[in-house]
Copies of this chain bind each other. A is one copy, B any other.
Amino acid sequence: MAPPDSAPLPDFEPTPRTKVKRLWQRACYDRETVYGILDAGLMCHVGYVIDGQPYVTPTAYWREEDRVYWHGSSASKMLRNLETGIPCCFTVAILDGLVLARSGFHSSINYRSLMAFGQAEKLEDEAEKLRTLEVFSERLTPGRWDELKPPSQQELKATTVLTMKLDEVVAKVRNGPPADDEEDYDLDVWAGEVPVLTQIGAAVDDPRLKAGIARPGYLAEVSINALDETS
Protein backbone atom coordinates (compact mmCIF):
# COMPACT_ATOMS: atom_id res chain seq x y z
CA MET A 1 0.00 0.00 0.00
CA ALA A 2 2.78 2.45 0.91
CA PRO A 3 4.80 3.95 -1.93
CA PRO A 4 8.13 2.20 -2.42
CA ASP A 5 11.01 4.03 -0.82
CA SER A 6 13.12 5.57 -3.54
CA ALA A 7 16.46 4.69 -1.95
CA PRO A 8 16.42 1.59 0.23
CA LEU A 9 17.50 2.47 3.75
CA PRO A 10 19.59 0.13 5.84
CA ASP A 11 18.09 -1.88 8.66
CA PHE A 12 17.95 -0.42 12.15
CA GLU A 13 20.94 -0.79 14.45
CA PRO A 14 20.25 -2.12 17.93
CA THR A 15 21.09 0.41 20.65
CA PRO A 16 21.30 -0.06 24.42
CA ARG A 17 17.62 0.92 24.54
CA THR A 18 16.43 -1.32 21.71
CA LYS A 19 18.69 -4.33 22.17
CA VAL A 20 16.37 -7.15 23.23
CA LYS A 21 17.97 -9.30 25.91
CA ARG A 22 15.08 -11.59 26.73
CA LEU A 23 13.39 -13.65 24.01
CA TRP A 24 15.80 -12.09 21.54
CA GLN A 25 14.56 -14.58 18.92
CA ARG A 26 11.45 -12.42 18.65
CA ALA A 27 13.32 -9.18 17.96
CA CYS A 28 13.55 -7.76 14.45
CA TYR A 29 15.47 -4.74 13.27
CA ASP A 30 14.75 -5.01 9.57
CA ARG A 31 12.92 -2.23 7.83
CA GLU A 32 10.55 -4.55 6.02
CA THR A 33 9.18 -5.94 9.27
CA VAL A 34 9.01 -2.52 10.94
CA TYR A 35 7.29 -0.87 7.99
CA GLY A 36 4.96 -3.84 7.59
CA ILE A 37 3.72 -3.47 11.17
CA LEU A 38 3.41 0.30 10.85
CA ASP A 39 1.48 0.09 7.60
CA ALA A 40 -0.91 -2.51 8.97
CA GLY A 41 -1.73 -0.73 12.23
CA LEU A 42 -3.69 2.40 12.96
CA MET A 43 -3.36 3.01 16.70
CA CYS A 44 -0.13 3.79 18.49
CA HIS A 45 0.58 4.55 22.13
CA VAL A 46 2.82 7.54 22.68
CA GLY A 47 4.80 7.83 25.90
CA TYR A 48 6.17 11.07 27.34
CA VAL A 49 7.16 12.41 30.74
CA ILE A 50 5.86 15.46 32.57
CA ASP A 51 7.42 16.22 35.97
CA GLY A 52 8.73 12.68 36.25
CA GLN A 53 5.30 11.15 35.59
CA PRO A 54 4.94 8.94 32.52
CA TYR A 55 1.89 9.45 30.31
CA VAL A 56 0.75 6.97 27.68
CA THR A 57 -1.70 8.39 25.14
CA PRO A 58 -3.34 6.26 22.45
CA THR A 59 -3.79 7.95 19.10
CA ALA A 60 -3.98 7.21 15.38
CA TYR A 61 -0.79 7.46 13.33
CA TRP A 62 0.46 6.97 9.81
CA ARG A 63 3.82 6.38 8.15
CA GLU A 64 5.61 7.99 5.23
CA GLU A 65 9.06 6.75 4.27
CA ASP A 66 11.16 6.68 7.44
CA ARG A 67 8.83 8.82 9.52
CA VAL A 68 5.70 8.31 11.58
CA TYR A 69 3.09 11.04 12.02
CA TRP A 70 0.27 11.68 14.44
CA HIS A 71 -2.01 14.63 14.96
CA GLY A 72 -4.72 16.19 17.04
CA SER A 73 -6.00 19.39 18.52
CA SER A 74 -3.37 22.06 19.00
CA ALA A 75 -4.67 22.25 22.58
CA SER A 76 -3.83 18.59 23.33
CA LYS A 77 -1.55 18.18 26.34
CA MET A 78 0.22 15.28 24.67
CA LEU A 79 0.99 17.25 21.51
CA ARG A 80 1.92 20.47 23.29
CA ASN A 81 4.41 18.64 25.45
CA LEU A 82 5.92 16.49 22.73
CA GLU A 83 6.36 19.37 20.29
CA THR A 84 8.91 20.84 22.71
CA GLY A 85 11.21 17.95 21.83
CA ILE A 86 11.10 15.94 25.05
CA PRO A 87 11.98 12.24 24.81
CA CYS A 88 9.24 10.16 23.20
CA CYS A 89 8.48 6.45 23.05
CA PHE A 90 6.25 5.44 20.14
CA THR A 91 4.76 1.95 20.51
CA VAL A 92 2.49 -0.07 18.24
CA ALA A 93 1.08 -3.46 19.22
CA ILE A 94 -1.26 -5.64 17.20
CA LEU A 95 -2.78 -8.66 18.92
CA ASP A 96 -2.93 -11.64 16.56
CA GLY A 97 -4.03 -14.46 18.80
CA LEU A 98 -3.98 -16.44 21.99
CA VAL A 99 -1.40 -19.19 22.26
CA LEU A 100 -2.83 -21.92 24.45
CA ALA A 101 -0.04 -24.19 25.60
CA ARG A 102 -0.29 -27.30 27.74
CA SER A 103 0.95 -25.34 30.74
CA GLY A 104 0.01 -21.88 31.88
CA PHE A 105 3.69 -21.04 31.90
CA HIS A 106 4.11 -21.52 28.15
CA SER A 107 0.76 -19.99 27.24
CA SER A 108 1.30 -16.72 25.42
CA ILE A 109 -0.05 -14.39 22.80
CA ASN A 110 0.80 -13.88 19.16
CA TYR A 111 1.45 -10.28 18.26
CA ARG A 112 3.29 -7.78 16.08
CA SER A 113 4.76 -4.89 18.01
CA LEU A 114 7.39 -2.22 17.81
CA MET A 115 8.92 0.45 19.97
CA ALA A 116 10.62 3.56 18.57
CA PHE A 117 12.56 6.12 20.58
CA GLY A 118 13.20 9.68 19.51
CA GLN A 119 11.88 13.18 19.64
CA ALA A 120 8.82 14.45 17.85
CA GLU A 121 8.85 17.58 15.71
CA LYS A 122 5.91 19.79 14.90
CA LEU A 123 5.12 20.44 11.24
CA GLU A 124 5.09 24.21 10.87
CA ASP A 125 4.51 24.43 7.14
CA GLU A 126 0.79 24.53 6.35
CA ALA A 127 1.21 22.98 2.90
CA GLU A 128 3.22 20.12 4.36
CA LYS A 129 0.59 19.59 7.05
CA LEU A 130 -2.14 19.47 4.44
CA ARG A 131 -0.15 17.10 2.28
CA THR A 132 0.50 14.55 5.01
CA LEU A 133 -3.07 14.74 6.35
CA GLU A 134 -4.12 13.73 2.85
CA VAL A 135 -1.74 10.77 3.02
CA PHE A 136 -3.36 9.73 6.32
CA SER A 137 -6.86 10.02 4.91
CA GLU A 138 -5.92 8.13 1.75
CA ARG A 139 -4.26 5.35 3.75
CA LEU A 140 -7.63 4.59 5.34
CA THR A 141 -10.12 5.53 2.64
CA PRO A 142 -8.36 5.83 -0.71
CA GLY A 143 -10.08 8.39 -2.92
CA ARG A 144 -12.09 10.09 -0.19
CA TRP A 145 -9.86 13.14 0.37
CA ASP A 146 -11.01 14.91 -2.80
CA GLU A 147 -14.67 14.47 -1.82
CA LEU A 148 -14.23 16.16 1.56
CA LYS A 149 -14.67 19.81 2.34
CA PRO A 150 -11.06 21.06 2.32
CA PRO A 151 -9.73 22.19 5.71
CA SER A 152 -10.04 25.91 6.37
CA GLN A 153 -7.05 27.95 7.49
CA GLN A 154 -8.58 28.04 10.95
CA GLU A 155 -8.99 24.26 11.06
CA LEU A 156 -5.42 23.71 9.91
CA LYS A 157 -4.22 26.10 12.57
CA ALA A 158 -6.22 24.23 15.20
CA THR A 159 -4.55 20.95 14.15
CA THR A 160 -1.06 20.02 15.27
CA VAL A 161 0.79 17.38 13.27
CA LEU A 162 3.84 15.78 14.86
CA THR A 163 6.39 13.59 13.15
CA MET A 164 9.18 11.41 14.42
CA LYS A 165 12.01 9.94 12.39
CA LEU A 166 12.35 6.18 12.65
CA ASP A 167 15.88 5.81 13.82
CA GLU A 168 16.05 3.79 17.02
CA VAL A 169 13.48 1.05 16.52
CA VAL A 170 12.92 -2.54 17.51
CA ALA A 171 10.08 -4.79 16.43
CA LYS A 172 9.02 -7.86 18.37
CA VAL A 173 6.87 -10.51 16.77
CA ARG A 174 5.49 -13.84 17.90
CA ASN A 175 3.49 -16.16 15.74
CA GLY A 176 2.84 -19.84 15.38
CA PRO A 177 1.84 -22.62 17.75
CA PRO A 178 2.76 -23.04 21.42
CA ALA A 179 6.25 -24.11 22.41
CA ASP A 180 5.68 -26.55 25.24
CA ASP A 181 8.19 -28.43 27.31
CA GLU A 182 9.05 -31.59 25.40
CA GLU A 183 7.61 -33.89 28.08
CA ASP A 184 4.28 -32.01 28.05
CA TYR A 185 3.33 -32.89 24.48
CA ASP A 186 2.02 -36.17 25.76
CA LEU A 187 -0.46 -34.54 28.17
CA ASP A 188 -4.16 -34.92 27.46
CA VAL A 189 -4.64 -31.18 27.03
CA TRP A 190 -5.83 -29.38 23.94
CA ALA A 191 -3.26 -26.90 22.67
CA GLY A 192 -3.17 -24.52 19.76
CA GLU A 193 -3.90 -20.99 18.69
CA VAL A 194 -7.02 -18.87 18.88
CA PRO A 195 -6.66 -16.22 16.16
CA VAL A 196 -7.70 -12.69 17.06
CA LEU A 197 -8.60 -10.71 13.96
CA THR A 198 -9.55 -7.13 13.32
CA GLN A 199 -12.71 -7.14 11.29
CA ILE A 200 -14.00 -4.15 9.36
CA GLY A 201 -17.76 -4.11 9.80
CA ALA A 202 -20.38 -2.95 7.33
CA ALA A 203 -20.48 0.84 7.12
CA VAL A 204 -23.29 2.59 8.97
CA ASP A 205 -24.86 5.61 7.32
CA ASP A 206 -24.91 8.83 9.34
CA PRO A 207 -28.56 9.20 10.47
CA ARG A 208 -28.42 12.67 8.91
CA LEU A 209 -26.99 11.43 5.59
CA LYS A 210 -28.34 13.51 2.69
CA ALA A 211 -30.80 11.57 0.54
CA GLY A 212 -29.41 9.97 -2.57
CA ILE A 213 -25.82 9.54 -1.44
CA ALA A 214 -24.59 5.98 -1.96
CA ARG A 215 -21.89 4.26 0.03
CA PRO A 216 -18.60 4.87 -1.72
CA GLY A 217 -16.51 1.98 -3.03
CA TYR A 218 -13.47 2.83 -0.92
CA LEU A 219 -15.34 1.69 2.21
CA ALA A 220 -14.54 -1.83 1.05
CA GLU A 221 -10.83 -0.99 1.04
CA VAL A 222 -10.51 -0.10 4.71
CA SER A 223 -7.82 -2.33 6.19
CA ILE A 224 -6.59 -2.24 9.78
CA ASN A 225 -4.22 -4.69 11.48
CA ALA A 226 -4.36 -7.09 8.55
CA LEU A 227 -1.74 -9.82 8.46
CA ASP A 228 0.30 -9.72 5.29
CA GLU A 229 -0.74 -12.80 3.35
CA THR A 230 2.80 -13.31 2.15
CA SER A 231 4.42 -13.26 5.61
Residues in A lying within 8 Å of B, measured CB to CB: 17, 21-23, 42-43, 45-49, 52-58, 60, 73, 75-77, 87-91, 93, 95, 97-98, 100, 102-105, 107, 109, 111, 113, 115, 117, 133, 137, 140-141, 144-145, 147-152, 155, 158-159, 177-178, 184-210, 213-216, 219, 222, 224
Q: Which chain B positions have C-beta within 8 A of A155? A: 103, 105
Across the interface, A198 reaches (CB within 8 A) one of B147, B196, B208, namely B196
A222: nearest chain-B partner, CB-CB: B194
Contact with A194, one of B90, B188, B191, B201 (Cβ below 8 angstroms): B201
A52 contacts across to B, CB distance below 8 A: 49, 87
B198–A89 touching, CB < 8 Å? no
Instruction: Using A52-B49, A53-B87, A58-B45 as known contacts, say yes or no to A148 and B103 having CB atoms under 8 A apart.
Output: yes
A229 to chain B, nearest CB (A): 15
Which residues of chain B have C-beta atoms less than 8 A from A90's C-beta?
A: 56
Cα distance A215–B23 in the bound complex, in angstroms? 29
A148→B47 contact, CB < 8 A: no
Closest to A213 in B: B190
Beyond the given A48-B54, A58-B93, A98-B222, could you list 8 further A-B residue pairs with CB under 8 A, ordered by the A residue number? A22-B75, A54-B54, A56-B56, A102-B149, A147-B189, A177-B206, A177-B208, A191-B206
